[in-house]
Amino acid sequence: MRYFMDPFGCAKNQVDAETMLALLNDAGWIPSDDPGGADLIIVNSCGFIETAKQESINAVLAWKKQYPEKKIILAGCLTECCRAELKESLGEADGFLGCSDLDRIVKKADELFGTYYEKPDTVIRAGYRPLLSFPGSAYVKISEGCNNRCSFCTIPQIRGPLRCRSIPDIIRECKDLLTRGIKELCLIGQDLASFTQENPGQKNAMRISALAVLLEEIALLSGDFWVRLLYMHPDHFPLDILDLIVKDSRFLPYFDIPFQHASGRLLSLMGRSGDKTNYLRLLDTIRTRLPDAAIRSTFLTGFPGETEEDFAMLLNFQEQARFDWLGVFTWSREEGTAAYSMKHRISKKIAARRKILIEERQIPITEENMNRFVGRNMDILIEEEVKESGLWLGRLFCQAPEVDGATVIHGDGVITDNFPQGLLKLGGIIRGTVLARAGFDLEAGLCKLIPPDRLS
Ligand code: SF4
């Protein structure tokens, strides 16, 4: 039997989709890149905000319209949060599977085709799951769920309380991925800053954060690879990881810290404890220890009670913080969240106007920040060859997968002159010179000075 995976949502959801791929492949199902060639279509849904939910539902409706004869499973966060309702209202889906029972995907799939029979549970080594990321890069989910209670967020309802994997288990996955030739390990969780360990042991007792202990264990792994940290709550950012990042250049000085807002009054309504002064101090501490640090953040506009003064404070924070990358969302009224019943709601029009204003103001800031890399020799992770163009696409340390700009590599004419064939390899890291900025992207040429042993 053949299946097609249609993934939606965040990196955490991508790892879930990859885990389902591994379980199905292990059970003899065959992955199909083309939905037309599959018997089963799996929509791995996102349930974070209304628009994301609708996108997943539209995917099910579209597939069923296009392929009425095929079976469709709606998996993921949307099913996790709204299973009963969906079973009532979404007849186009033949089966439903939440993110808390994704290990039952084989049973669910087989049952739809009447081919299910009791099988011994298979254990999939996390490091050997098929990867949906670009070549050379993999997400490593170090924890699931969240204990923070941001009043606008549905994730704790969907993904449950915080559960952290053991450090030895994570290290095993990292080793497996590196053995497969992965060059970038992106550590993810709902909030890496909350990472903790059941049995902290001697080392943890000495250090404040378990995340620092995890990085120290990763630092013991040999080889040339990158480690990228994604999603850290600003209110409990573990400062002790900065020492390790300064010491080991494989830990990228890249931080994704969703500040959401800068008004202390509004942040406390959001269930957060920070404010503009604290947040600027955190940024200053990071940049003092790591002057080249690249920082991404997220803002939320239109939260109930957001006044023009609050918004002005957010704009001022944006001006002072000078993030490399900034994403902006408008508040979405989600059932089951504390903010759902809050008064003083802001019109969608005002929320959208505020979002656009922040985005417009961010363009020159990001461009100016990216200018600092022009003229420098940098390591580039090669992700894609643009056929018949002599161009390749890749990323520098300051460009996270899927959300930031990319680096266009001019490979043409270089191969023949100075470098052996196969120098540019998907998933490889190569040294290049940043020649120019083009919008949010960078352009690079290959350094003619690479010592042979650096050819990865
Ligand atoms: S930290 Fe806050 S926003 Fe992030 S997943 Fe947890 S509750 Fe949601």
Q: Residue 394, SS3?
A: strand
Q: Write the DSSP symbol of residue 340.
A: G
Query: The dihedral of CA 236, 242, 248, 252: what is its sign?
Result: positive
CA of 230 to the centre of ligand 1 (A): 13
User: Which residue's entry shows tokens 């098929």?
Assistant: 130
155 lines ligand 1 (CB under 6 A): yes
Quick one: fold of 377-454? OB fold (Dihydrolipoamide Acetyltransferase, E2P) (2.40.50)
170-202: per-residue pLDDT in tens? 999 999 999 999 999 999 999 999 999 876 555
Indicate the domain borders of the chain: 2-113, 126-371, 377-454
The kind and range of the H/E element at 143 are strand 143-144
User: In testing the pocket of ligand 1, which one of 46, 143, 146 has its CB within 8 Å of the most ligand atoms?
Assistant: 146
Question: Residue 104, exposed/middle/buried by CB under 10 A (0-12, 13-18, 19+)?
Answer: middle
CA of 281 to the centre of ligand 1 (A): 22
User: CA 101 → CA 46, 48, 75, 105, 169, distances in Å?
Assistant: 15, 18, 9, 8, 20
Quick one: fold of 126-371? pyruvate-formate lyase- activating enzyme (3.80.30)
Nearest residue CA, atom 4 of ligand 1? 190
Between residues 413 and 78, which one has the greater pLDDT?
78
pLDDT at position 422: 58
Q: Do domains 2-113 and 126-371 have the same CATH topology?
A: no
One-letter amino acid for residue 139 of the chain: Y
Between residues 342 and 200, which one has the greater pLDDT?
342
353-409: per-residue pLDDT in tens? 999 999 999 999 999 999 999 999 999 999 999 888 888 999 999 999 999 999 999
Buried b (16+ CB within 10 A) or exposed e, 31-48: ebeebeebbbbbbbbbbb
Q: Residue 98, SS3?
A: strand
CA of 261 to the centre of ligand 1 (A): 14
Residue 327 and residue 49: Cα distance in Å, rounded?
A: 15
CA of 173 to the centre of ligand 1 (A): 25
Angle in degrees, 0-180, between the axes of helices 77-89 and 50-66, rounded to the nearest 10: 60
Who's near 69: CB < 8 A, 6+ residues apart?
A: none
Secondary structure (DSSP) of 24-41? HHHTT-EE-SSGGG-SEE
User: CA 256 → CA 309, 359, 428, distances in Å?
Assistant: 26, 17, 24
153 lines ligand 1 (CB under 6 A): yes
Instruction: Give the nearest ligand 1 atom to 154 CA.
Output: 8
pLDDT at residue 417 above 50?
Answer: no
Share of the chain above pLDDT 90, in %: 84
pLDDT at position 428: 93
274-307: per-residue pLDDT in tens? 999 999 999 999 999 999 999 999 999 999 999 9
User: CA 170 → CA 10, 53, 257, distances in Å?
Assistant: 20, 31, 22
Please give the mean pLDDT across all residues of the chain.
92
Per-residue pLDDT averaged across 122-133, rounded? 82
Per-residue pLDDT averaged across 199-223, rounded? 81
Measured in whole angstroms, how far is the alpha carbon of residue 116 from the centre of its chain? 34
CA of 256 to the centre of ligand 1 (A): 13
Nearest residue CA, atom 8 of ligand 1? 153
Question: Strand pairing of 377-386 and 391-395?
Answer: antiparallel
Choose the weakest-confidence range: 62-66, 112-116, 209-213, 418-422.
418-422
Residue 206 and residue 202: Cα distance in Å, rounded?
A: 7
Per-residue pLDDT averaged across 114-134, rounded? 77
What sections of 139-220 are H helices per DSSP? 155-159, 167-179, 201-206, 210-219
Residue 273 and residue 255: Cα distance in Å, rounded?
A: 20
User: In testing the pocket of ligand 1, which one of 190, 237, 267, 334 has its CB within 8 Å of the most ligand atoms?
Assistant: 190
pLDDT at residue 456 above 70?
Answer: no
CATH superfamily of 2-113: Methylthiotransferase, N-terminal domain (3.40.50.12160)
